Amino acid sequence: MSITLDFNGKNLAKGKSLHLHYLPAKISGDGEANVETYFNNYTREAPEYGSGMLNNALRGYPLVGERMKVPEGYKGLVLQETEKPLSESTDRQLRLTGVFDEFTYWNYDKVPSNGDPFRQAMLMADVAKALSEPISEQDLEAEIRRNLESKKENDS
Amino acid sequence: MSKKTTRSAKPKPDPDANIDTAAQKSTVAGLKKVLYISEKILPDDNQLLRLDRFYHPGKGKDALFLTNPDGQIMELLEYAEPRRSWLINSEICANGRVYMTIPMDTTLLAIHHLRKHCAQRAMSLDNIAVHEASTSRFLTQFIDSNGLKCVADAKTSGDLTFYKYNQERTLAWLALKTRHVAEILKQKQIHCGHSAQSQNFVRSEKLSDNVVNEMDYGRMACDIVGRYLDSDLHDQLIGYLHIPSEIQAIVEEKTAAQKRKSQVGLEGSNSKKIKLNSHDSDAASKLKLSGLLDSKNGKDCITSPPTMEPLKERSMTAKEKALAKGAKGTKSIASFFKVN
């Protein structure tokens, strides 16, 4: 079984730019919605919450949001699987719907801050980068010597 | 506008809050997924990326990795919050997850296979796990030989390189990795203590330097590295780095706090004593007195059964007297539990 991402560099460069909202609600069901008329039209700037903050409402529930960039060094993609796999072993393909560099992040009745799980999760990219940095032979040798010495000290 | 604000001020709990407008509802074929992809792994004009399943020792099963025909590989992480969904242009996407590729040192994953197959004898990579197609593909296509030399002894014979697992080098290498991670955690001011804390507060007040200590960063870093290791190797790493377990740390912190409290209490009682026996300034007698009191209390606890009588004999404090007065005519709480 393999999953192929069915796009190359050329497709990416020409990819349609998408307008995204990250909503703080569980929605059961995918489908078309009149987002422009009933949601985008009501997005207002809300400087009382801080610079760049926006507000809106979803079914009467107050939302506070902000424009958020895709982390540095990353590109945002929306992929779509055209047909559901019949079994685990069939080859699958994910097609490119579009790309984005920015989206609107919405919180329910809470000003977006560094305390939000989403922002904290994005720090994982930096941590992973630190973890993946190769370690030089010299550093490794030094560490082995250091450990041996500290062992000797403990024994004596 | 005023109507809107009153409505928003009193949000009612609505378990199935959704925004499907019945008129415009139409199902979209296929599910959409939002992916943050690292620019480093983006394909060229004629390349296609693949998602592959390889064994992930930390999970104990296969996990998804994004691979590029060049031999680049990244781990695929999934961010999921309980109530999140996307609006993409004019479409609702109920899958509120964000998938993200993160760079990864393949040596971390190779350690598992080396420990399993190359602990006793040196083997070349294409001889390991010949019957497991995905593992074999992983070892032959995505492993960096320089990284592998950090965790194994390499012997070259002709075109072939044979590897034998080296525990000492592996632990030293993992310790260095852990230190790198701890540094970035500190740099990014990620809160690592075991007590919950408001991130906003820590960030804005810049208190984190005092609140979290070095060991918390080390422990968190060790856990992050441990996500890629077999659990026994993770335990060995914890031992190597001398990291006390979190429970141990909590207990130690608590006893330290109690010590402080009891010290304060002791000081308090001493000062009280001084006030009471202001004529007696002999420190030794004071100590004896307090020691005597302690032993007496201890004896009471051991010898007397939990009844009311010995308590009466003891001189009561004003508070206890008041309590006893209030309890007059009421049953002892112990009587409720007696089986007669």
B51/A5 CB distance under 8 A: yes
- CATH code: domain B32-104 is 2.20.25.530
Q: How far is A52 from chain B (nearest CA, A)?
A: 18
Handedness of CA B91, B97, B100, B106 (dihedral sign): negative
Better-scored residue on pLDDT, A27 or B11: A27
A-chain residues near B200 (CB < 8 A): 113-115
Nearest to B200 among A20, A30, A115 (CB): A115
Judge whether B167 is closer than 8 Å to chain A, CB to CB: no
Based on the structure, what is the number of domains in chain A?
Answer: 1
Distance CA B340, CA B330 (A): 19
Gap from A87 CA to chain B (nearest CA, Å): 16
Tell me the average pLDDT of chain B. 74
In-domain check, residue A81: yes
**Minimum Cα–Cα distance from B168: chain A residue:** A144
Both tokens assigned to B95: 């899958």
Q: Tell if the CB–CB gap between A36 and B20 is shorter than 8 Å.
A: no
If you search the block for the tokens 């260095």, which residue do you land on? B176
Q: How far is B107 from chain A (nearest CA, A)?
A: 9
Which residues in A lie closer than 8 A to residue B36 (C-beta atoms)? 70-71, 74-77
* Nearest residue of B to residue A10, measured between CA atoms: B45
- The mean per-residue pLDDT over the stretch A98-125 comes to 90
Q: Contact A131/B92, CB-based, under 8 Å?
A: no
Could you tell me the residue range of the domain that residue A75 belongs to? 3-113
d(CA A96, CA A81): 9
Judged against a pLDDT cut of 60, whether residue B299 lies above it is answered with: no
Average pLDDT value for residue range A52-61: 92
Q: Is residue A90 part of a domain?
A: yes
Candidates A129, A133, A144; nearest CB to B169: A144
State the average pLDDT over residues B293-308: 42
**Residue with structure tokens 């987002």?**
A35
Put simply, the answer to whether A75 touches B42 (Cβ < 8 Å) is yes
Could you report the per-residue pLDDT of B201-219, keeping only the tens digit for each? 544 444 444 445 778 888 8
A144 by Cβ neighbours in 10 Å (0-12 / 13-18 / 19+) ranks as middle
Query: How far away is chain A from the Cα of B327, in angstroms, using its nearest Cα?
Result: 50
CA B209 to chain centre: 19
Contacts of A90 in chain B (CB under 8 A): none
Least reliable range by pLDDT among B198-202, B270-274, B316-320: B270-274
CA B63 to chain centre: 21
- Chain A residues in contact with B180 by the CB 8 A cut-off are 130-131, 133, 135
Q: What's phi and psi for A152, nearest 5 deg?
A: -60, -45
Q: Contact A26/B82, CB-based, under 8 Å?
A: yes
Residue spans of the domains in chain B: they are 32-104, 105-165, 168-249
Is A140 part of a structural domain of the chain?
A: no
Q: How far apart are the C-alpha atoms of A130 and B238, rounded to whole Å?
A: 19
User: Residue B331: pLDDT band by 50, 70, 90 thresholds?
Assistant: low
CATH of the domain at A53: 2.40.128.680
Q: What integer pLDDT is reported at residue A103 of this predicted model?
A: 95
Strand order across the B160-165 sheet: B123-124, B160-165, B152-157
Task: Measure in Å the smallest separation between the Cα of A156 and chain B Cα atoms.
Answer: 18
B85/chain A closest Cα distance in angstroms: 5
pLDDT(B193) > 70? no
**Predicted local distance difference test score (pLDDT) of residue A23:** 95
Q: Is the Cβ pair B181, A8 closer than 8 Å? A: no
Do the domain assignments include residue A23?
yes
As a whole number of Å, the end-to-end CA separation of chain A is 57
Name the pTM for this structure.
0.71
Q: Which pLDDT score, from 0 to 100, does residue B335 have?
A: 62
Residue of B nearest to A7 (CA): B48
Optimal mutation site among A93, A99, A105, A131, interface B, most CBs of chain B within 10 A: A131
Range of weakest confidence among B132-136, B176-180, B332-336:
B332-336
Contacts B183 to A, Cβ<8 Å: 130
User: From the CA atom positions of chain A, what is the Rg in Å?
Assistant: 23
Nearest C-alpha of chain B: how many angstroms from A98? 10
Angle at B64 between CA B60 and CA B68, to 5 degrees: 135
CA distance B286 to chain A (A): 42
Residue matched to tokens 């809050």: B17
Check CB contact of B322 with chain A, cutoff 8 Å. Answer: no
Count of C-beta atoms within a 10 Å radius of residue A38: 13
Q: What is the mean pLDDT of residues B303-317?
A: 48
Residue-wise pLDDT tens digits, B216-262: 888 889 999 999 999 999 999 999 988 877 777 777 777 776 765 55
Q: Which of A26, A89, A109 to mutate to test the interface with B (most CBs of B within 10 A)?
A: A26
B309 pLDDT band, cuts 50/70/90, is very low
Is there a contact between A73 and B180 if contact means CB atoms under 8 Å apart? no
φ/ψ region of B206 (left if φ > 0, alpha if ψ in -120 to 50, else beta) reads left
Q: Are strands B152-157 and A61-69 parallel, antiparallel or unpaired?
A: unpaired
Query: Mean pLDDT throughout B79-104?
Result: 92
In a domain, A136, yes or no: no
Partner residues linked to A78 by β-bridges? A98, B34
Angle at B291 (CA atoms; ends B285, B293), nearest 5 degrees: 105
- ipTM for the complex shown: 0.90
CB pairs under 8 A between A and B: 281
Residues of chain B above pLDDT 90, percent = 30
Q: What is the mean pLDDT of residues A117-142?
A: 89
- Count of Cβ atoms closer than 10 Å to residue B175 Cβ: 21
